[in-house]
Amino acid sequence: QVQLVESGGGLVQAGGSLRLSCAASGRTFSTYAMGWFRQAPGKEREFVATIGRSASSTYYADSVKGRFTISRDSAKNTAYLQMNSLKAEETAVYYCAAARRGMSTTERQDDYWGQGAQVTVSS
């Protein structure tokens, strides 16, 4: 089992940047693909980005390509989401997920989730 704690959320102006962190407990971090999802008020949770176990593979939602970067540091058991050129409509709670079965753009029942980090982008 793995526990995830997100940090780095906050308030930023449109066009600004934030970096989210997702710290994972345990010694099995490298066995999980990691992902970021977000849920805006009144909307369903949606996929943002994912990174493979070895960090050699990444995949992004079309809406964030070229602006967001997902990465991971196995030495720190931490995944990151660097978000640049943020838009007001990207205000949401951002969640990280650990996926034992590998990279995915969809949620699966056996994934582990953090508690979420609020990101508010003011226009």
- How many whole angstroms from its chain centre is CA 103? 12
User: Measured between alpha carbons, how far is 6 from 99 in angstroms, rounded to an integer?
Assistant: 16
* Confidence (pLDDT) at 101: 92
Average pLDDT over residues 45-65: 96
In the chain, pLDDT over 90 holds for what percent of residues? 93
Among 28-32, 58-62, 85-89, 95-99, the range scoring the smallest mean pLDDT is 28-32
Q: Using the 8-state DSSP alphabet, how is residue 104 labeled?
A: -
